[in-house]
Amino acid sequence: MMFRNPLPVILSLLFACSTLPAAKPITAPAGLFKDVDDSTVGDAILLRGTGLFIDTRLIESLDGAHRRLNRPVKHKKNPVMVKTRPWEENSPGYGTVHYDAGAKLFKMWYQTWKKVEGISEGNLGFATSRDGVTWTKPVVNKKTGTNLVAAPTIPGFQCPGIFHDRSDPDPQRRYKMLFSCAPDGTSSSWMTSAAFSPDGIHWTPSKQTPLIPFSDTQICPFWDQRSRRYVAILRFGPPNTRLISRTESEDFQHWSPKITVLRRTRRDAVQETQFYQMAPMPYANGYIGIIGAYHRESLAPIPPDKPWTDRQDLQLAYSRDSVTWSRVGGRGAESHASLNRKRDWTREAREATFLPYGKMNKEWDWGYIAPYYTPEPIIVNDRIHFFYVGADAKHWWTWTGDPPKKDPNAKPPKKGIGLATLRRDGFVSVEAGPKGGTMTTRTLAFLGDTLLVNADASKGSLTVEALDTNGKPIKGFGLDASVPLTTDAIRHRLAWKGHKDLHQLQGRPLRLRFHLKNARLFSVTPSTRHMHYIRSYP
């Protein structure tokens, strides 16, 4: 077979290519690419996800503006659930609420009590709701025809906290519980143990019963995605004391020694406040703790000059690592050290209430309220849902007072479950009145082309200037180019005239100075809204 010489063909192709017109260079839009390393970013805080103003991590200075703790709004139909079945003895007690976003269904586990001799012991009821207001108690136990789940049959079962563990590959352990019990039926055996379930209805106790020292209020476990550990918030003890402790585990079986994470401060001395429990909740880049704050233990009637006596409301704590917590007061989070300064804390003690008990002898929850545990934030229609149990009697009503124990006609207090909702990210706001004020952030850096702010400027305005590390306005992003916000929205988009987005600000250290007038600012979140495609070379 004969082969042609390929050289002429190759030379002709090379010659043809050499005569093609030169390709025009592709120029990326200004600011689309930046050098981002330790020399360019420096000590700037990398803003990832939603940034709250509950503490001062993002705040450098306030001038004419201030932070304020906001309270949830109680539902007008409260209590949304009460005792309706004969087996719901002294119900409802401690509880847990989950929200199944896919099914759009609220699920509640709540404790009832058994009539037994000796130590106290509970059952566990189950209820569901489509809206968090109207609740159904489905029959989950066909043998008894009740809504009582198959909880661990261990003497003294009580104080359960439940969460849905999506990280566990074993479907039989998808639901996990920590609870208190006394296996031999005596107070000397009180302990904290665990149970597992595939569906939250049928529970199998841990083979190893004693796991954690006893906690006689609700134990709240969750899987901490950040540390890759199971974490439980529970009560100090034994001996049990009204302080908040923490423990963690890698396998839900071997738990670290308890550490005390909340202790009383000088502010707490005003109302002689103690901590019954704390329900933790991962939120944004930190953790929210809902504290059952019990005031001035007393067996005597409530005196007019100390109306908080023997009553309980809810307060807040905040943490960025679930280990070191700060208390949240009327002006935001404060450290343990700052709350122990020698000064008059009267006003601050009053302003620290997040969710108050009701009006004495007038509202169903006037005596005490306690948080229901929500392991994950329940946010529906941009409202955070908080559930709590309340009663129309003070804590030690059985001894004296309201109602008096010696009164033969006295009836046990009426208990119920309440619902309160708060604006998304609305725990603490930065705000200013009609004279206006500013809040300047610390040096930040973000990735994306958009900054979303949760703010209410419906009665005034909010404008923003972006500053460089020297405090000078960045060209094109000064106050004169800021598009004012004048409405109330969860997801305002910050905008400057002449810019369709903010990609020129991404990746560079900057500070934001918010100018507020009759406005409230709740959070800031970086985001990406556009396609940043660049045509390839031809």
Number of structural domains in the chain: 2
pLDDT band for position 3 (cuts 50, 70, 90): very low
pLDDT in tens, 145-168: 999 999 999 999 999 999 999 999
Same domain, 111 and 206: yes
Which of 371, 404, 424 is at the close of a domain? Answer: 424
CATH number reported for the structural domain that contains residue 364 in this entry: 2.115.10.20
Residue 228 lies in a domain: yes
Which of 399, 424, 449 is at the close of a domain? Answer: 424
For residue 520, the enclosing domain spans 38-65+436-527
Task: Please say whether the beta carbons of 303 and 25 come within 8 A.
Answer: no
Cis before 25? omega within 30: no
Residue 21 lies in a domain: no
pLDDT in tens, 241-292: 999 999 999 999 999 999 999 999 999 999 999 999 999 999 999 999 999 9
pLDDT in tens, 387-435: 999 999 999 987 755 555 556 666 778 999 999 999 999 999 999 999 9
Share of the chain above pLDDT 70, in %: 93
Same domain, 46 and 180: no
Share of the chain above pLDDT 90, in %: 87
Residue 13 lies in a domain: no
Question: Cα-Cα-Cα-Cα dihedral of 500, 505, 510, 512, to 10°?
Answer: 20
CATH number reported for the structural domain that contains residue 49 in this entry: 2.60.120
> At residue 349, what is the residue type?
A
**pLDDT value at 350 more than 50:** yes
Identify each DSSP E strand in 365-408 by its residue range.
368-371, 379-380, 383-391
Which of 378, 399, 424 is at the close of a domain? Answer: 424
Same domain, 275 and 217: yes
Rounded CA-CA distance 281/375 in Å is 5
Same domain, 167 and 298: yes
- Give the three-state DSSP class for 366: coil
- Give the three-state DSSP class for 52: strand
Residue 9 lies in a domain: no
Same domain, 338 and 402: yes
- The residue count of the chain comes to 538
Same domain, 304 and 415: yes
Same domain, 413 and 442: no
Q: Exposed, middle or buried: residue 492 (CB in 10 Å: 0-12, 13-18, 19+)? A: buried
Q: Which two tokens stand for residue 444?
A: 């930040």
Least reliable range by pLDDT among 34-38, 179-183, 211-215: 34-38
**Of all helices (H) and strands (E), which one includes residue 347?**
helix 346-351
Query: Given this model, what pLDDT does residue 2 score?
Result: 47
**pLDDT value at 4 more than 70:** no
Residue 30 lies in a domain: no
Same domain, 166 and 58: no
Task: Please say whether the beta carbons of 483 and 525 come within 8 A.
Answer: no
Q: Which region, left, alpha or beta, applies to residue 132 given φ > 0 means left and ψ of -120 to 50 means alpha?
A: left
pLDDT higher at 403 or 39:
39
Query: Given this model, what pLDDT does residue 22 score?
Result: 60
Write the secondary structure of 150-177 as one string of H (helix), E (strand) and C (coil): ECCCCCCCEEEEEEECCCCCCHHHCEEE
Please provide residue 247's backbone torsions phi and psi, each rounded to the nearest 5 degrees. Answer: -145, 160
Q: Which residues have CB under 8 Å from 304's CB, separation 6+?
A: none
Q: For the sheet with 135-136, list strands across it.
A: 95-100, 105-113, 122-129, 135-136
Residue 196 lies in a domain: yes
pLDDT in tens, 98-125: 999 999 999 999 999 998 888 999 999 9
**pLDDT value at 1 more than 80:** no
Residue 537 lies in a domain: no
**pLDDT value at 17 more than 80:** no
Taking residues 174-178, report their average pLDDT. Answer: 98
- The CA-CA-CA angle for residues 458, 459, 465, to 5°, reads 75
Same domain, 416 and 484: no
Residue 142 lies in a domain: yes
pLDDT band for position 34 (cuts 50, 70, 90): confident
Mean pLDDT of the residues in the chain:
93
Same domain, 198 and 278: yes
Same domain, 336 and 477: no
Rounded CA-CA distance 149/139 in Å is 9
Please provide residue 357's backbone torsions phi and psi, each rounded to the nearest 5 degrees. Answer: -70, 170
pLDDT in tens, 454-500: 999 999 999 999 999 999 999 999 999 999 999 999 999 999 999 99
Query: Given this model, what pLDDT does residue 15 score?
Result: 46
pLDDT higher at 436 or 396:
436
Task: Please say whether the beta carbons of 308 and 295 come within 8 A.
Answer: yes
Same domain, 411 and 455: no
